[in-house]
Structures are given as C-alpha cells and as structure tokens.
C-alpha cells in the first residue's frame, strides 16, 4: 500500500488544482477521481444514453473502457482508447458526471480502479468519498470547503478564460445543484469523514491554501509516524550490545577439570539416587560438548545439581548476589560449582557479558528464566534475559523441566527431570531491536519447558 492522501470536498473548492500542486510537492501521483465520473458521463452523452435512466446507464457500462495515463506529471483520461481529458469540463459533462455518480453500478465500476492506484502508488486522490468509502484507512484525510459563492466565482473565471459564455448566476446555480446532488445521493454522498481535517479556503488564495494543506499533511504524517515509532518498543535502548560477540569458537574445558567433574558428579549422582527417586528423561537431547544454555523451570535449590549430574561438561549458573555475601565457605562452594552472582536491579549488561563469557569458556550455562522458585510447580512467564543471552551468544538452548509433587522435595520422593530438543541458534536470532522479537524468543523457550512440565504432571 502506498501513502495515500484523500482530498474530498464539494465542486469548485479548488481540490484539483491544490491536489495537483500538493502531489508535485510531495512527489506523489495525483488521481483526479472526478474525471473518471466525467469520462463515464461523456461516454453516455456521446452514446445518446438517457442519463436520467439508471437502467440504461448500467446497461451501457460494460462498453466503457476508462483508464488513466500520466504524461508530464499530468493525468490524462483515456476513454475507449481516446484521450478525452480536454473534453471533460464542459457544463454538460459536469452535470452529467454529478448525475451518473449517483448510480451504484457506476460507483462500484470505478471503486476497484481507484483502490488499485492507492495500492500501487503514493497518491493524492481527490473526490467526494475517498476518505469515507474508497480509502477509509488512508494516511491523511482533508476535507476542503469554500462558500458556494466563492466557488462559483472561481469556476466562472476559469470558464471565461476557456471562452465559455456561461453567466455567474448560471455557474452558481450549477454549483448549488451539484452540491445538492452530491450530498443528497443515497450512495457514498459527499460527507466529511470523522477523522478528516476540514479546511475552508474561502478567504485564502491558491498559494495560501496549498501551504496550509501541505503543512497539515506534513503534520498528520509526522504524528502518525511518531505514534508508530512509539508503538514499536525497543530492547532496553540504553544498553550497548556492541561488545558482546556470539560464541563462535569456545575454549575446551581443561581435561583435568573435566575428569574431576566426571568423578564428583558420579559420586553425587549415587547420593542423590539414594535420597530421591530420580527419573531422567530425554537425556539423548543433552549435547556432548559444552557452550549450551540449559533453560529450566525453578523448583528448589537443588535444581542446578539435577542439571549438573547429567551434563557432560561443567556448568555455570546465576545465583542471587546475597548468597555470596553470607557464609564464606558456602560462597566459595557455590563459586567452585560454577555459580556467579546476579545483583538485582544492577546494570543487566554485566550479567549478560559474564554469562556469554562463561559460554565462551566452553561451559554450559544453566538459567532459570522465571527468576524465582515456583512453589506449586506452575511455570511462570519467564524474563526476557534468557532470550537476550541466547540471541547474543547464539548457542543452542536445551529446555529442562523439573517436576515433583508438593512444595518441597522430600526424602525418597519421585522427581522427574526432562530435557527437551535443543532450540538451535538460527531460531534464536534477533533481526531488530523490537522487543516483541525478544519476547517471541522467550515464548519459544518457555513453551518448550511448559510442554514438558505439563507432561510430567501426569507421570508423578
């Protein structure tokens, strides 16, 4: 769809001259729809059709071939292969156009053609019903008026210059008659659209009118654009992501560390096997190499252990800053196990950089997108942080679900730990800073966790 400006109003309000100048100024195409009705009237007059007879006009419509061409920026109306532009403004054709334009078949005959233009081009389209019927969703709607006397005055001068012998009184009577016809017809009557800006040009000359209208158009378009922009929420604009690179060449985890990790996790596995009835599912989904994000629901402080017990490579996980400030030994232990602190409300960028750095080190990263523990096992909405890290780091995300009955995990209680199919980096790409994209990635991750949480409920 192009950008479309509707310029509606009664005959002689100066629409065509203004629309022409405006379209030149804006580099848009000018579509004078009145001339299309005029061309149909001309056809009917030439063919000797009684234009007061709707049936006869309708019967002859299929023979009418009307089109628009542009040369030197001017609209030319082609009627059955003939350029009739210069014959469209006689009083007879004017009155005929007013008459045929009240016939529904004529209006629908021209409707598609007008819409087609608006779809293809940026247009300034003048007429009577552009803002109300033809393009009700167009970008700007102007309703141009002027007193009947002033309009008659302008048209009278034009006709005189063209050598027409009509008197002022006749022109005024014509204008009044056409106003009456255009506003009283049943179908698509001349009417200001509710959202149109009304501009009365009675006291303005042409230059002034064009200036006022083009200022109005500019203002409306700018307002629309800024509304549009404010409707597109951006990812935390103040954060500078430029120095976070995707993880392309992760380091290998030190083999000695890997060896000890293997031993420790096996020992703890045996202890946990005694304490809980652990059931692991989807282990085949766990990558053998590191640098993956494991995104899990959060049920207990043991959750990182449930993940680490089956990972082939050590993992890092985020932990509340407070945990590092209390007991020194405990702080050392969780740090040793791969935890790193997250300060609530601090600049998220530090955390994101740290998370990506851990992935770069070849470690897996366990994240709990919900942020806090769920007591009843219901999955929360999840924060967008996980999506941000995944999209910046460009590493696979393995969804994980931990399920057990009740609020606390008791001795010998059944706990199901499932891993889902990894979501690949291609599905985690951000193409713009529109926050809706980030939210869509979060949804993807949360949904894949949710599916497993739901399935596990029936197996507990």
Name the site residues for ligand DC (rule: CB under 6 A).
11, 33-35, 37-38, 97-98, 101, 127-130, 178, 182
At closest approach, how far in Å is the CB of 127 from ligand DC? 2
> DSSP states of 194-233 as a string?
TTPEEEE-TT--HHHHHHHHHHHHHHHHHHHHHHHHHHSP
Q: What share of the chain is helix, strand, coil (3-state, %, to 5)?
A: 50, 15, 35
At closest approach, how far in Å is the CB of 226 from ligand DC? 30
Q: CA dihedral in degrees (251, 257, 263, 266; nearest 10)?
A: -40
Q: Between 178 and 363, whose beta carbon lies closer to ligand DC?
A: 178
Q: Between 33 and 384, whose beta carbon lies closer to ligand DC?
A: 33
Q: Are 359 and 295 in contact (CB under 8 A)?
A: no
Q: Between 128 and 141, whose beta carbon lies closer to ligand DC?
A: 128
How far is residue 443's CA from residue 438's CA, in Å, rounded to a whole number?
9
How far is residue 215's CA from residue 123's CA, in Å, rounded to a whole number?
17
Q: Between 130 and 210, whose beta carbon lies closer to ligand DC?
A: 130
* H/E element, 408: none
Residue 248 backbone phi and psi in degrees, to 5: -110, -35
At closest approach, how far in Å is the CB of 61 from ligand DC? 15
Residue 29 backbone phi and psi in degrees, to 5: -90, 140
At closest approach, how far in Å is the CB of 196 from ligand DC? 14
Question: What separation in angstroms does the CA of 220 have from each of 70, 192, 417?
Answer: 28, 17, 57
Q: Between 180 and 259, whose beta carbon lies closer to ligand DC?
A: 180
At closest approach, how far in Å is the CB of 129 from ligand DC? 5
Question: What separation in angstroms does the CA of 208 have from each of 213, 416, 425?
Answer: 9, 77, 58
At closest approach, how far in Å is the CB of 62 from ligand DC? 20
Q: Between 12 and 396, whose beta carbon lies closer to ligand DC?
A: 12
Q: Between 88 and 318, whose beta carbon lies closer to ligand DC?
A: 88
- Residue of 149, 152, 132 whose CA lies nearest to 7: 132
Question: What separation in angstroms does the CA of 124 have from each of 69, 101, 144, 185?
Answer: 15, 20, 13, 25
At closest approach, how far in Å is the CB of 37 from ligand DC? 4
């Amino acid at each position: 769809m192009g950008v479309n400006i509707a310029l509606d109003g009664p005959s002689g309000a100066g629409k065509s001259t203004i629309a022409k100048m405006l379209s030149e100024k804006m580099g848009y195409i000018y579509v004078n729809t009145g001339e299309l009705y005029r061309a149909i009237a001309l056809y009917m007059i030439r063919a000797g059709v009684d234009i007061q007879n709707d049936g006869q006009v309708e019967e002859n419509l299929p023979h009418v071939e009307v089109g628009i061409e542009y040369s030197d920026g001017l609209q030319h109306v082609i009627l059955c292969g003939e350029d009739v532009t210069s014959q469209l403004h006689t009083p007879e054709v004017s009155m005929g156009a007013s008459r045929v334009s009240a016939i529904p078949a004529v209006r629908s005959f021209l409707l598609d053609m007008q819409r087609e233009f608006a779809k293809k081009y940026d247009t300034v389209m003048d007429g009577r019903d552009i803002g109300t019927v033809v393009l009700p969703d167009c970008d700007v709607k102007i309703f141009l008026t002027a007193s009947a006397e002033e309009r008659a005055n302008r048209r009278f001068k034009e006709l005189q210059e063209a050598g027409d012998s009509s008197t002022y009184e006749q022109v005024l009577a014509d204008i009044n008659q056409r106003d009456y016809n255009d506003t009283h017809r049943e179908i698509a009557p001349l009417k200001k659209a509710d959202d149109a800006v009304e501009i009365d040009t009675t006291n303005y000359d042409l230059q002034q009118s064009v200036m006022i209208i083009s200022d109005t158009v500019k203002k409306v378009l700018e307002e629309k654009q800024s509304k549009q922009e404010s409707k597109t929420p951006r990812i935390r604009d103040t954060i500078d992501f430029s120095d976070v690179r995707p993880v392309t060449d992760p380091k290998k985890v030190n083999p000695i560390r890997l060896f000890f990790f293997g031993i420790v996790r096996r020992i703890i596995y045996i202890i946990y096997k005694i304490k809980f009835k652990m059931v692991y599912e989807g282990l085949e989904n766990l990558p053998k190499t590191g640098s993956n994000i494991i995104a899990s629901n959060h049920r207990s402080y043991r959750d990182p252990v449930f993940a680490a017990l089956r990972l082939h490579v050590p993992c890092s996980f985020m932990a509340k800053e407070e945990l590092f400030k209390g007991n020194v030994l405990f702080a050392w232990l969780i740090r040793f196990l791969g935890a790193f602190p997250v300060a609530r409300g601090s600049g998220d960028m530090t955390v994101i950089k740290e998370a990506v750095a851990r992935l770069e080190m070849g470690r897996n990263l366990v994240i709990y997108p919900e942020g806090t523990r769920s007591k009843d096992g219901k999955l929360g909405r999840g924060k967008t942080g996980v999506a941000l890290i995944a999209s910046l780091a460009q590493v696979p995300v393995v969804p994980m679900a931990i399920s057990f009955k009740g609020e606390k995990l008791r001795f010998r209680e059944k706990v199901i730990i499932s891993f889902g199919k990894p979501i690949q980096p291609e599905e985690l790409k951000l193409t713009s800073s529109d926050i809706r994209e980030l939210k869509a990635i979060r949804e993807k991750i949360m949904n894949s966790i949710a599916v497993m949480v739901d399935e596990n409920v029936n197996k507990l």
